[in-house]
Amino acid sequence: MNRPLRHIAVFCGVLVLALLVRATWIQFVQADELANDDNNRRVKIEAYSYPRGNIIVDGKPITDSTTTPGDFKYKRTYKNGPMYAPITGFASQGIGFSFLESTYNKLLSGKDDRLALNRAKDILTGEKPRGGDVVTTINGKAQKAAYDALTKLKAKGAVVALDPRNGNVLAMASTPSYDPSSFAAMGDAKKFAELDKDENKPLSNRALRETYAPGSTFKILTAAAALEHGVITDINAKTDSPVPYQLPLSTTKIPNDVKTADCVNGSLKTGMQWSCNNVFLETALKVGKDKMRETAEKFGFNSEVYDKDLGDLKANKSLYPEKLDKPQTALTGMGQGSLTSTPMQMAMVTAALANDGKLMMPHVVDELRGPDLSTVKKFEPKQMSQAVSADTAKKVQEMMENTVDKGTAGKAKIDGVTVGGKTGTAQHGVNVDDERPYAWFVSYAKQADGTSPVAVAVFVDPKDMDIQRSEIAGGKLGGPIAKAVMEAVLKK
């Protein structure tokens, strides 16, 4: 072979070798990356070529799959989509996934490694892959009660209901909401864009992702901090708290919403009963910012409420600030100032107090199931902290139950049931006189054995409601909602 031909042969050999190396690299090293690339249409076509697994409430699916024309054979559908959207999220051919649909996408699509045996059987039998199911802790009646009550008010708001004993999320509603079915197909991106631009923020999960001043509902935590740190030992003892209360180092005087002489130097129990601002401003000041913050953090403040069981349903941080002067510290005692909370966080505070001080990690998934209904994973309750002692919790329960029986939280009364509750009306904005206050309500219900199967937090933003400002109060707006949710759980 002459020299030019030999060079050409070597060059061709190098090209073939490079081609083999590149092909091997793509098939074995980059395979997963390419398979999961958003621009790989074949993967999407295959993913939507069979029905998706379901999300289950009360033993019944609240999701389904239906055939559709085009390359993508199946699209996701939802039963009572707007009601369950804060839990399910969406599965959209064009937009992607959110919340449970995102967290458990591999299981629902049948691609989870724990379903490998099922996939092997499908290959042998020639059947299409099948997705697994996500079984939730949601109580369907409680969810409906929460959603219906919020929509009836035509309010922006949220409701969270927990089982204090194990952290099960029984209800999680947010309004206004959206129907995930409306943009499930590939050509529905315009509908999603409209929702995303809507100033009412229907895509926002107000129960988890928005924080607000908690107002007087925070007084239950202030009371717990004072008792836990020994600042107050007798809930019936008088306090040194005049009306109106003048903030320290300031000329500002804070009045009470309820006009009663009982608030003047009132006891902690009386202060809870009539939501006396003066009592809790003075109490927080005596406890001090460090001990107040320490107690708040034991209830979950200043950390993301996140557990692998919750997955994508993690809550934003609720904040008890670190750097506070004396006036600011006093204001946190009544849930104002720079203090912020999610509805989930206030549900956790209420649940922990109802559970004798033991705070359980909230979780919305009870079980993961394979397509053959076998259990892939069963989630177990997990304790976050002993937020306060059982003795402290029982004293706060006594005050909350008195507030329902004889005070401002009477709207939550349920015949034959022991109920504890606390109202809240929170000022907010740069100029609080120009903004309508938020309305809050927290409560729990007890069984005959003293345990509580349900604790509720209700948040209502009445900004766009057709209601007089004088009618905006946690008891009037939130109390009936909390009662309806608790009744739904108790009846089950």
Residues with catalytic function: 216
For residue 491, what is the enclosing H or E element? helix 479-491
d(CA 443, CA 439): 14
Helices (H) and strands (E) in the chain, counts: 17, 18
d(CA 347, CA 188): 36
In a 3-state reduction of DSSP, which class is residue 485? helix
d(CA 437, CA 421): 19
- Give 487: exposed, middle or buried? Use CB within 10 Å, 0-12, 13-18, 19+: middle
Question: If you count them, how many residues does the chain have?
Answer: 492
For residue 174, what is the enclosing H or E element? strand 169-175
**Can you point out the beta strands (E) in 247-395?**
253-254, 358-360, 365-369, 375-378, 383-386
Beta bridge partners of 461: 156
Nearest to 65 by CA among 111, 140, 125, 130: 130
β-pair type (133-136, 55-57): parallel
- Give 225: exposed, middle or buried? Use CB within 10 Å, 0-12, 13-18, 19+: buried
- Give 405: exposed, middle or buried? Use CB within 10 Å, 0-12, 13-18, 19+: middle
Angle at 203 between CA 425 and CA 139, to 5 degrees: 70
Beta bridge partners of 394: none
Residue 248 contacts residue 187 (beta carbons within 8 Å): no
Q: Which two tokens stand for residue 51?
A: 């029905």
For residue 420, what is the enclosing H or E element? strand 418-426
d(CA 235, CA 399): 8
d(CA 422, CA 442): 5
Produce one character per residue of 463-476: b if its CB has 16 or more CB atoms within 10 Å, e if not.
Answer: eebebeeeebbbbb
d(CA 386, CA 471): 38
Residue 145 contacts residue 488 (beta carbons within 8 Å): yes
Radius of gyration of the chain (CA): 27
